[in-house]
Structure 1
Amino acid sequence: MDIVPLLDRIGEPQAAALFGLITGLIFGIAAQRSSFCLRASVVEFAHGRLGSRMAVWLLAFSTAVVWTQMAELSGMMRAEDARMMAVPGSISGAVVGGLLFGAGMVMARGCSGRLLVLAATGNMRSVVSGLVFAVVAQMALQGWLAPVRNWIAGLWITPGGTNFNLLTSLHLPQQSGFVIGLAFALAALWLARKNRVSLRVLFTASGVGFAVAAGWVLTYSLSQVAFDPVQVESATFTGPSANTLMFFLTSSPVLEFDIGLVPGVFLGAFLSAAWGRELKLQGFEGAGSMSRALIGAAFMGMGGMLAGGCAIGAGVTGGSIFVGTAWLALFCMWIGGMATSWLLDQRGAVAQPGLHVPH
């Protein structure tokens, strides 16, 4: 893919922001139309069901793996050049951060990416929660919470100065990544058929995975021809949310992939919701709902920074190139989310004696 003429015309920082915008638009449209949400899948699974939510999430995850591994096999990107693979990973951060993020997304009723999509449709609860998430993420990155984050993350670091590739660690051939993704995709399609998920939802869910692969390919292509160093990255919302917040608060903003990604997701989700006539102002359901959502958003901000990414950044984007700590963080997000869902169900059952808690 020859992007040199584009760079000559608009410049490297503008091209990076444009690629983020394109990735975000695809992600926002696909996520809004498919109702893609890790939190919904975790709650469904915690209640002993393998329903439509699980089918949608699994299809998005698997298509991200399939498209990304195809791109790598064809030479359109290299996993070892990705930022999250080229720097040391934190095993302790993945565990603690994953558990925190998983608990937070259940409390806030959506992961950071889902909050952004919902905010674009008029959900004011998601707007407020998203702002809290971005502020706490920035505090964990460079503010008052940074010493705590650094201490926890430094407890157990991957050796060798880099993260580790699960496929390499398990002595599997490179092609096995594509095969694993395909196996997950077949499982997702089986679940989708069992739960009568429509073809439209399946198509848009796969679009989430395609957006992740597109981000990888676009940033890798830019890194190969840019004069200044360019980070090879794709969709994630912890760091980009903090960076986008600071972009609008500082007097010397810097254009980069992150600055295009977040507005792109918002715009894509807004256009999709407007097209489907799903724009609707919504707020908090009471003081209890508000406090729980804001605490959950704060948990996600800190947890995402510790884990090296959010449910999208670590769970899907990092998972698509088999970053070891990303898969560990995703597993811990599931554990933290399910435990929190069970706890909230039990508290609800105590508050309402007649309430049935699914098993």
Structure 2
Amino acid sequence: MPEIDLNTIASNVIWATFAVTVLLGIVLQQTRFCTMGAVTDVIVMGEWTRMRQWLLAIGVAMIGVGLMSYLGLIDTGKSIYTGTRLSWLSTIVGGVMFGFGMVLASGCGSKTLIRIGAGNLKSLVVFLTLALSSYMTLKGVFGVLRVNTVDTVFLTLSTSQDLPSVLAAQWGVAKNSLQLGLALVLGSALVTFALSRKDFWNFNNLLAGFGVGASILAIWWISGVLGYVAEDPNTLEEVFVATNSGRMESLTYVAPYAYVIEWLTFFSDTSKKVTLGIISVFGLVIGSLIYSLATKTFRWESFRNAEDTGNHLIGGVLMGVGGVTAMGCTIGQGLTGISTLAINSFIAFAAFVVGASLAMKYLQWRMLPPPCEPVVAGNSSTYHSNTGGCGMPLQIACHTDQFGTLGQIAPEDVAEIARQGYKSIINNRPDGEGGPTQPLSADVEVAAKALGLNYVYLPVVSGQITLEQAQEMARLLETLPGPILAFCRSGARSTNLYMLAQQVG
């Protein structure tokens, strides 16, 4: 019997995972693949493109895992997702927390790493917050709270909790065949739905769906085949080399954050080894960095204000605690877990969507401030500043000291807007929407430029904001001189567009 070199196997697992995740980082940057973006696009804009990317990735991963299982390459029963304990309450509570947190933090665990590679300092803060809170939920004070509360409520099944095992026991069918059948049916349905619209058929969308799905499959193969040892020469038991759980793993981005911090903190402890999860974190960041430098899109980005800082800190904590409680993130449960057809993973995905929806409602409420209060000058005459409110009759809602929204304006209102200190105006109302009495954009533009203000016409149909419009708004907020004033019929459309601009990317 040939000698088994566990160190060589571990090295192969690490370097293979690193190569896959570097490529994945490039794909995620190129395609803007994002769970939070997919959910918010559907909720706010009714736009399904990024959700179709997600569903395509799930379908590809599901079909691939079904085929690998049927061929005997991997056994999903040896993953963390298919145990006999169905912790439904932990999954729901943790999933909602994670979904809410990822919106506050402008992205899930994988998106945070992608943004770090692109120079986003906000995401670096989220990374540290998420890593610490996830570690505390795995082994610290939050872990004790978790174990003694939501983890006490669960169902113990007579089989593994994946659909093939449950149905095989009830129907008396071979699990192997049933897993392949379910994977082909469900996966094909998702792929068919994703590809059903011809306008979805472009390079980025197909790369996102097939690329992410293939990455999940590649890591399953790396841990389940390349890293599998039937008999560890030290323990005489089977082992999956270089995994934190000791079981077969694929991509997830919550617990690995904690393992990265632990590895860096105890670096001199030779018992702390680089694992598949740890290297996958570094791989995404480096892949994103390579793409950002190559395309000259790398730029430093920091917090806008104190509320923005608070949102990201709270979001990081919610993702760390919620992700561990739910046994995974939108990648871990939403893709990796669902590819095994685990019941808990389907519950988790639904909980992520609910949490994200609640967070979007919260942000919409937060970004609809009342008209600002007037400021009284020292000579007792009333004036209005962009940091203190709008004036009469211009009811400006001041979201930050650099951005405000307003209802329809006329050319004669521009002088008052300039007096209040605004440097740029964005018009989000299409010409003619309000009939012949609505001032034309060109007339407002003439008045703005006559006073030295920047003016941009970005018309948005009410209730039909598109992803491209949100991305353009984000670009304008980055490039136009501030303070910036955006207007539409009532200001609500501009507010929604501003909110979406904070989330896209």
CA 1:13–1:341 in 2, change beyond 3 Å: closer, same or farther?
same
Identify which range, 50-59 or 93-102, moves more after superposition.
Answer: 50-59
CA offset at residue 10 of structure 1?
Answer: 4.8
Partner SS state of residue 74, structure 2: coil
User: TM-score of the superposition, structure 1-length normalised?
Assistant: 0.90
CA offset at residue 170 of structure 1?
Answer: 4.4
CA 1:104–1:162 in 2, change beyond 3 Å: closer, same or farther?
farther
Aligned residues: 353
1:310-325 aligned within 5 A: 310-325=329-344
2:466 alignment counterpart? none
CA offset at residue 49 of structure 1?
Answer: 0.7
CA 1:38–1:212 in 2, change beyond 3 Å: closer, same or farther?
same
Is 1:149–2:146 an aligned residue pair?
yes
2:310 alignment counterpart? 291
Letter of the 1:190 counterpart: S
Is 1:168–2:172 an aligned residue pair?
no
Identify which range, 157-166 or 276-285, moves more after superposition.
Answer: 157-166
Identify which range, 298-307 or 348-357, moves more after superposition.
Answer: 348-357
**Matching residue within 242, 259, 262 for 1:243:** 259
1:252-267 aligned within 5 A: 252=269, 253-267=272-286
Is 1:216–2:220 an aligned residue pair?
yes
CA 1:55–1:8 in 2, change beyond 3 Å: closer, same or farther?
same
CA 1:20–1:225 in 2, change beyond 3 Å: closer, same or farther?
farther
For 2:231 and 2:285, locate their aligned partners in 1 and report how far apart those are by CA, in whole Å.
28
2:250 alignment counterpart? 234
Query: Is the Cα contact below 8 Å between 1:88 and 1:161 reproduced in 2?
Result: no
Is 1:268–2:287 an aligned residue pair?
yes
For 2:17 and 2:66, locate their aligned partners in 1 and report how far apart those are by CA, in whole Å.
20
**Matching residue within 298, 316, 322 for 1:279:** 298
Letter of the 1:309 counterpart: G
More helix by share: 1
CA offset at residue 44 of structure 1?
Answer: 1.3
1:1-359 aligned within 5 A: 8=5, 10-47=7-44, 49-86=46-83, 88-160=85-157, 163-170=160-167, 173-174=178-179, 175-191=181-197, 193-194=198-199, 196=200, 198-221=202-225, 222-225=227-230, 227=232, 229-230=239-240, 231-250=247-266, 251-252=268-269, 253-351=272-370, 352=397, 354-356=491-493
Query: Is the Cα contact below 8 Å between 2:100 and 2:359 reproduced in 1?
Result: yes
CA offset at residue 98 of structure 1?
Answer: 0.4
CA 1:141–1:9 in 2, change beyond 3 Å: closer, same or farther?
closer
What percent identity do the matched residue pairs reach?
24
Letter of the 2:152 counterpart: L
CA offset at residue 154 of structure 1?
Answer: 2.1
Structure with max Cα Rg = 2
More strand by share: 2
CA offset at residue 244 of structure 1?
Answer: 1.0
Query: Is the Cα contact below 8 Å between 2:84 and 2:156 reproduced in 1?
Result: no
Instruction: Please list every run of 5 or more consecutive structure 2 residues that lacks an aligned counterpart in the other structure.
Output: 172-177, 241-246, 371-396, 398-489, 497-505
Query: Is the Cα contact below 8 Å between 1:104 and 1:296 reproduced in 2?
Result: yes
CA offset at residue 225 of structure 1?
Answer: 4.5
CA offset at residue 160 of structure 1?
Answer: 4.3
Letter of the 1:212 counterpart: I
CA 1:133–1:311 in 2, change beyond 3 Å: closer, same or farther?
same
CA offset at residue 220 of structure 1?
Answer: 0.8
CA offset at residue 155 of structure 1?
Answer: 2.7
For 1:278 and 1:69, locate their aligned partners in 2 and report how far apart those are by CA, in whole Å.
38
CA offset at residue 28 of structure 1?
Answer: 1.6
CA offset at residue 162 of structure 1?
Answer: 7.0
Letter of the 1:182 counterpart: S
Letter of the 2:135 counterpart: Q
CA offset at residue 55 of structure 1?
Answer: 2.1
Q: Which runs of 4+ in 1 moved over 6 A?
A: none
Query: Is the Cα contact below 8 Å between 2:81 and 2:340 reproduced in 1?
Result: no
Letter of the 1:327 counterpart: F
Partner SS state of residue 261, structure 1: helix
Query: Is the Cα contact below 8 Å between 1:121 and 1:273 reproduced in 2?
Result: yes
For 1:199 and 1:290, locate their aligned partners in 2 and report how far apart those are by CA, in whole Å.
35
CA offset at residue 178 of structure 1?
Answer: 2.1
For 1:333 and 1:170, locate their aligned partners in 2 and report how far apart those are by CA, in whole Å.
26
Offset from partner CA, 1:77-109 (integer Å, 9 cap, x none): 111111322463421110100000010011111
CA offset at residue 65 of structure 1?
Answer: 1.6
Indicate the structure whose relative CO is greater, using CA pairs within 8 Å and at least 6 residues apart. 1
Partner SS state of residue 123, structure 2: helix
Query: Is the Cα contact below 8 Å between 2:86 and 2:157 reproduced in 1?
Result: no
Instruction: Please list every run of 5 or more consecutive structure 1 residues that lacks an aligned counterpart in the other structure.
Output: none
Superposed CA RMSD in Å reads 2.4
For 1:333 and 1:248, locate their aligned partners in 2 and report how far apart those are by CA, in whole Å.
30
Query: Is the Cα contact below 8 Å between 1:165 and 1:322 reproduced in 2?
Result: yes
Partner SS state of residue 84, structure 1: coil
